């Protein structure tokens, strides 16, 4: 017994050792086999991060696992990822590892995969990557396959599948996709037991038909691999919360497929209709009380190839039904429905949809509709009709719709329309029949995006073939009121063929406060060193002017409040077109004067603006205190009390929330100070200048008709030279400052000489009052820093030296004139004044010349 146990123990130990050593011994050769299989059979780039061979993961089977497997397409889809899987696992019998032929695969597991299937506009498919089989030699002997699929089980877990058909403009998405199958794939005929669950989204021709709808299917399929016929046996499907039963088959031929499927609901409970609505909008159906019936049945049968689709006969009907959710006070009653989807030829363009007698009632409010859609893929024909009244407050009381805010008011509609899509696209409105009216009254709307509740007392619209006439619109919000009339054109073209919505409106208001409609965004981070400091991003999404709007609004308002600005008698025109907002002939009374504005704001590509602004005879201090633009352009205005006019031409880029990027600004401006007085205590710059020079007093500065010009470049405001006077001191100014109020200015003060008495008093005393009044000197001053903390540099020494030089020159000129006068007097005496000289007196010439030399010599000695 001990010997037997010993032998068994040794065998067990050998087996355990073998289980550990086998993966190590065979992993390299198997990885080479896998790589060879990929290169020989697949026309794509196949990669994985690691290969792992284990005898424990799927014990008693061996397990081959590829981590981070990817298949990258080659041309014409070069670089596209066809498949990525976090883990791809193959299970096989342990003895398969010791075979010198191909491996038989029993099970396949694909975990956390992403599959991207694509058909381009030319019909090329990215999944057609299998290579043509090659022969080993001229005897046509087949090459031994490295792998043979004798599956009995497969799984796809937590995966995503995307199917895009560019030629058919179709997009199918499967999320959270899980699928399992069990069957004997080694047999030619067997039963495959499957389970599938997923979230499905489906878009066709730009229209979303399914969005994250839940599907689940448990189906047993009879698999006939010889005839490629797959028949539904026992099965049960759930779409959203709608149960369905299937029967029929799908058969694959070389050039076409054949489908013969029938489906229906297992019961006629009206709850089945609610289950058709996505769960997001219909909520849980537990506890919902329903009456009446609902039946859904369909037939899909026929050939599928490049020309034909299966014939369709799908119908849904209900009569005298009702439903009420357990936690809601209102019931929806008298529900009728008759929906038919048919195709009797197998041609796509012959598919049509009829929906007749769609009716319901909530309390005493009834609503009805009907219509049809034909020629789906050619010139679509649409016939619609709607009639009835809705109490908007009852919608959320009868149906669990998730509204961001409560609605109230009444909607009355009586509309009919009959048109074809080609006529809309050609704007041939003579072929369009549309008439009726719609009236919204007592409508209240609140939203987190609105500061104040919005109330529409009445809005009445009459419809014609190509337009909607807004006959009356009365709205209030907070203290604001708006009355409007106008018309909208091309409504059907906008609704059905993606054409712009055109219109012209006229609006009036007695009081319009922007704060009643705008909620301030929470500011995110702001960089102090940014060149657009005051224009930091405050919203997470860019403000975009809608591309589909082609609207002109002519407005007139008695009072408009915008932030801290109050505009009176505002009027003008605002046009929205091609992502541009165009302002034209805007005018208003403001700051005791008048403002005029023309310009454009564009959100196409990089947001930008172009503005022409005029402010006429406005109060300077009011404009500075209330208008941010004036603070940036002219910070010095805070110390000016008076009247001015200005014109500004400005262009530049905008941030995503439409604030100016100051570094991008270009343009020019002109300003005229009509009359103003400086209040130096309001500006540190003036106070420091006064303290630097005891002869300056800006409080005495009065400016009249001062004109200056400046331009914008690289975030700076560059001032052209201009002059003004402080009492009898002339000042010349040039330089620039930024929108962040840093500055670099050069001032030149032309200062009369008498203000330098302490510095050059002895020299000034030698001048006459006439000479002194005519003498002045330029005093250069440099200003840097900021307007709140200015740095002043004064070159007084240079000014004093210049003044000293002027005094010396004046003294020289004075001395020169004195010498000239003395010499002239002496000569006159010597020559006898104006007496004539006799020829007989020539003998005395030498004596007189000597006398003149003595006089000049005496003068210069005195000077020395």
pLDDT tens-digit readout, 132-144: 655 434 444 454 5
pLDDT at position 260: 94
**Tokens coding 562:** 């915008």
Provide the mean pLDDT of the chain. Answer: 78
Q: Measuring CA to CA, how many Å separate 630 from each of 203, 283, 312, 674?
A: 52, 55, 70, 17
List of residues 6+ apart from 242 with CB closer than 8 A: 265, 272, 275, 276, 296
Rounded Cα gap, residues 565 and 397, in angstroms: 43
Taking residue 728's Cβ as centre, other Cβ atoms within 10 Å add up to 13
CB atoms within 10 A of CB 505: 17
Q: Give yes or no for residue 750 having a pLDDT over 90.
A: no
Residue boundaries of the structural domains of the chain: 8-128+146-168, 262-387
862 has pLDDT over 50: no
Provide the pLDDT for residue 279.
61
What is this structure's pTM?
A: 0.60
Asked if the model's pLDDT at residue 757 lies above 80, the reply is no
Query: H/E/C letters for each residue in 744-797?
Result: EEEEEEEEEHHHHHHHHHHHHHCCCHHHHHHCEEEEEEEEEEECCCEEEEECHH
DSSP character for 228? T
- Given this model, what pLDDT does residue 771 score? 54
Q: Please count the other Cβ atoms lying within 10 Å of the Cβ belonging to residue 461.
A: 20
Angle ∠(475,476,479) on CA atoms, nearest 5? 155
pLDDT in tens, 649-659: 989 888 887 78
Q: Which of 397, 407, 395 is nearest to 447 (CA)?
A: 407
Task: Provide the b/e sequence for 47-78 (b: ≥16 CB within 10 Å).
Answer: ebeebebbbeebeebbbbbbeebbbbbeeebe
Q: Which residue has the tokens 């190590």?
A: 24
Provide the 3-class DSSP secondary structure of residue 819. helix
Residue 163: how many other CB atoms lie within 10 Å: 16
Measured CA to CA, the distance from residue 37 to residue 466 in angstroms comes to 64
Neighbouring CB atoms inside 10 A of 111's CB total: 15
The neighbouring-strand residues paired with 229 are 224, 251
What pLDDT does residue 828 have?
Answer: 58
Give the separation between CA 597 and CA 594, rounded to whole angstroms.
10
503 DSSP β-pair partners:
488, 551
Least confident of 221-225, 326-330, 500-504, 833-837: 833-837
β-pairing verdict for 549-562 and 501-509: parallel
At residue 665 the predicted structure's pLDDT band, cuts being 50, 70 and 90, is confident
How far apart are alpha carbons 54 and 347 in whole angstroms?
54
Q: At what angle do helices 845-863 and 796-830 cross, to 10 degrees?
A: 160
* Mean pLDDT within 738-767: 68
478-496 mean pLDDT: 83
State percent of the chain over pLDDT 70.
Answer: 75
Q: Which residue has the higher pLDDT, 98 or 367?
A: 367
Among the residue ranges 278-292, 660-674, 723-737, the one predicted with the least confidence is 278-292
Please provide the distance, in angstroms rounded to a whole number, between the alpha carbons at the two ends of the chain.
Answer: 147
User: From its phi and psi, is residue 573 left (phi > 0), alpha (psi between -120 and 50) or beta?
Assistant: beta
Segment among 32-41, 87-96, 694-703, 745-754 with least mean pLDDT:
694-703
Question: At 585, is the pLDDT very low, low, confident or very high (cuts 50, 70, 90)?
Answer: very high
Confidence of residue 559 (pLDDT cuts 50, 70, 90): very high
Residues 668/711, Cβ–Cβ less than 8 Å: yes
């Amino acid at each position: 017994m001990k010997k037997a146990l010993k032998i068994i123990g040794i065998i067990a130990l050998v087996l355990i050792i073998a289980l550990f050593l086998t993966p190590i011994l065979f992993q390299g050769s198997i990885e080479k086999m896998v790589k060879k299989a990929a290169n020989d059979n697949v026309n794509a780039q196949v990669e994985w991060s690691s290969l792992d061979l284990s005898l424990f993961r799927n014990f008693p089977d061996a397990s081959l696992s590829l981590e981070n497997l990817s298949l990258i397409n080659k041309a014409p889809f070069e670089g596209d990822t066809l498949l990525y899987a976090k883990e791809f696992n193959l299970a096989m019998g342990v003895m398969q590892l010791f075979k010198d032929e191909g491996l038989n695969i029993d099970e396949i597991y694909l975990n956390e995969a992403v599959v991207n299937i694509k058909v381009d506009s030319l019909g090329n498919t990215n999944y057609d990557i299998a290579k043509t089989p090659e022969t080993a030699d001229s005897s046509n002997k087949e090459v031994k396959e490295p792998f043979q699929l004798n599956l009995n089980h497969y799984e796809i877990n937590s995966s995503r599948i995307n199917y895009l058909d560019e030629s058919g403009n179709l997009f199918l998405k499967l999320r959270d996709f899980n699928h399992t199958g069990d069957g004997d794939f080694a047999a030619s005929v067997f039963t495959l037991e499957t389970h599938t669950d997923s979230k499905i989204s489906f878009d066709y021709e730009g229209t979303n038909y399914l969005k994250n709808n839940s599907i689940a299917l448990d189906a047993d399929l009879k698999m006939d691999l010889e005839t490629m016929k797959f028949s539904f046996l026992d099965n049960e499907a759930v779409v959203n919360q709608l149960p369905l039963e299937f029967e029929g088959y799908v058969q694959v031929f070389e050039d076409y497929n054949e489908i013969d499927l029938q489906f229906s609901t297992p019961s006629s409970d009206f709850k089945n209709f609610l289950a058709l609505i996505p769960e997001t909008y219909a909520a849980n159906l537990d506890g919902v009380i329903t009456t009446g019936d609902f039946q859904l049945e369909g037939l899909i049968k026929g050939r599928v190839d490049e020309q034909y689709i299966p014939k369709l006969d799908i119908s849904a009907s209900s009569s005298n039904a009702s439903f009420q959710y357990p936690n809601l006070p209102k019931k929806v009653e008298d529900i009728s429905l008759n929906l038919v989807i048919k195709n009797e030829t197998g041609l796509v363009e012959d598919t049509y949809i009829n929906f007749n007698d769609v009716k319901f009632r909530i309390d005493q409010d009834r609503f009805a509709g009907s219509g049809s859609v034909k020629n789906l893929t050619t010139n679509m024909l649409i016939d619609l009709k709607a009639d009835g009244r809705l109490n908007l407050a009852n919608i959320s009381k009868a149906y669990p719709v998730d509204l961001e805010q409560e609605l109230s008011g009444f909607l009355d509609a009586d509309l009919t329309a009959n048109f074809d899509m080609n006529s809309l696209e050609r704007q041939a409105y003579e072929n369009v029949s549309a008439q009726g009216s719609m009236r919204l009254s007592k409508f209240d709307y609140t939203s987190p995006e609105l500061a104040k509740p919005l109330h529409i007392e009445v809005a009445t619209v009459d419809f014609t073939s190509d337009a909607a006439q807004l006959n009356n619109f009365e709205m209030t919000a907070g203290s604001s009121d708006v009355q409007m009339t106008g018309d909208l054109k091309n409504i059907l073209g906008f609704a059905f063929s993606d054409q712009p919505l055109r219109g012209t409106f006229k609006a009036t208001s007695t009081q319009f406060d922007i704060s009643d409609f705008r909620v301030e965004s929470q500011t995110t981070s702001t960089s102090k060193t940014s060149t657009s400091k005051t224009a930091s991003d405050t919203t997470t999404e860019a403000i975009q002017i809608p591309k589909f709007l082609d609207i002109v609004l002519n407005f007139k308002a008695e009072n408009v409040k915008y932030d801290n600005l109050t505009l009176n008698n505002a009027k003008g025109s605002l046009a929205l077109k091609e992502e541009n907002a165009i302002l034209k002939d805007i005018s208003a009374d403001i700051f005791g004067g008048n403002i005029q504005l023309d310009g454009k704001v564009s959100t196409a590509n990089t947001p930008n603006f172009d503005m022409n602004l005029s402010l006429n005879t406005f109060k300077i201090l009011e404009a500075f205190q209330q208008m941010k633009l004036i603070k940036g352009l002219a910070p010095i205005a805070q110390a000016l009390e008076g009247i001015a006019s200005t014109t500004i031409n400005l262009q530049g880029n905008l941030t995503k929330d439409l604030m100016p990027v100051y570094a991008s600004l270009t343009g020019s401006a002109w300003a005229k100070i009509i009359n103003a007085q400086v209040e130096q205590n309001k500006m540190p710059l003036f106070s420091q200048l006064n303290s630097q020079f005891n002869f300056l007093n800006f409080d005495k500065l009065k400016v009249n008709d001062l004109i200056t010009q400046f331009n914008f470049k690289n975030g700076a405001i560059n001032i052209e030279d201009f002059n003004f006077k402080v009492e009898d001191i002339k000042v010349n100014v040039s330089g620039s400052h930024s929108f962040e109020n840093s500055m670099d200015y050069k001032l030149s003060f032309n200062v009369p000489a008498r203000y330098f008495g302490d510095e050059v008093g002895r020299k000034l005393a030698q001048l006459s009052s006439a000479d002194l009044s005519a003498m002045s000197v330029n005093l250069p001053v440099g200003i840097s820093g900021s307007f709140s903390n200015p740095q002043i540099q004064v070159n007084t020494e240079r000014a004093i030296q210049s003044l000293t030089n002027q005094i010396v020159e004046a003294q020289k000129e004075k001395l020169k004139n004195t010498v000239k006068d003395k010499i002239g007097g002496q000569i006159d005496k010597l020559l006898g004044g104006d007496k004539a000289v006799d020829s007989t007196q020539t003998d005395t010439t030498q004596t007189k010349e000597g006398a003149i030399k003595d006089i000049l010599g005496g003068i210069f000695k005195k000077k020395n």
